[in-house]
Structure 1
């Protein structure tokens, strides 16, 4: 399986959160990760960064930020230029989907954990 470098937007050191579980599962399945969020700490061996540094080598952004908190991240997401954005359950946002699609970024309403467990990632 090819490494699909994944930016986890909404990363958290809280082991009860799906973003935490996804980070660990991504690493276990051979994908490199970048954790981005507002919390401090490390997840799956990678520090949590603030959404400031633009990473230009990202295959996938997997969203764990609710739509009400996404508008301030639109520029960051678009400038990152991922190949795709996965809107995990509860993060669905038609406005961001349209912005991304206009830039040629694929968007999926899916669950990263399910995609990984079924080999669809």
Structure 2
């Protein structure tokens, strides 16, 4: 399956990253997460520190471009197949870095992709 890392994961039910964790879990997609606070959403543990996860297919970003910078090398080193830039996370600088490493860049909403069967 498409093991997914959610970066910018939140424990706040009103946040889209929270909903993404719920929907990924509901769709039986193995999911791991990094956020500002440790906790658990829909059976997914949220780590406060970047973890060297293995076999990440998709990274789903929920951080603005400024906050993404500290994760550039981390994400590249994970060697995901693709990175989803959810609305509000668009970052042409990071697109170029990812593409130069052969990583697919998609400007798409994780929730929409899941609800339309395109994930």
The corresponding residue for 1:25 is 23
CA deviation after TM superposition for structure 1 residue 60, in Å: 0.2
Structure 1 segment 77-88 matched on structure 2, within 5 A: 77-88=75-86
Q: How many angstroms apart in 2 are the aligned matches of 1:51 and 1:61?
A: 15
- Between stretches 49-58 and 92-101, larger displacement belongs to 49-58
CA deviation after TM superposition for structure 1 residue 24, in Å: 0.6
Q: How many angstroms apart in 2 are the aligned matches of 1:92 and 1:52?
A: 21
Q: What's the TM-score, normalizing by structure 1?
A: 0.94
Maintained 8 Å contact 1:11/1:64: yes
The corresponding residue for 2:110 is 112
Structure 1: 4+ residue segments shifted above 4 A: none
- Between stretches 49-58 and 61-70, larger displacement belongs to 49-58
Q: CA RMSD in A?
A: 0.9
Gap runs ≥5 in structure 2: none
Structure 1 segment 50-69 matched on structure 2, within 5 A: 50-69=48-67
Q: What's the TM-score, normalizing by structure 2?
A: 0.96
CA deviation after TM superposition for structure 1 residue 26, in Å: 0.6
Maintained 8 Å contact 1:8/1:63: yes
Q: Secondary structure at the match of 1:74?
A: helix
Maintained 8 Å contact 1:35/1:43: no
Q: How many angstroms apart in 1 are the aligned matches of 2:45 and 2:115?
A: 24
How many aligned residue pairs are there?
119
Gap runs ≥5 in structure 1: none
The corresponding residue for 2:35 is 37
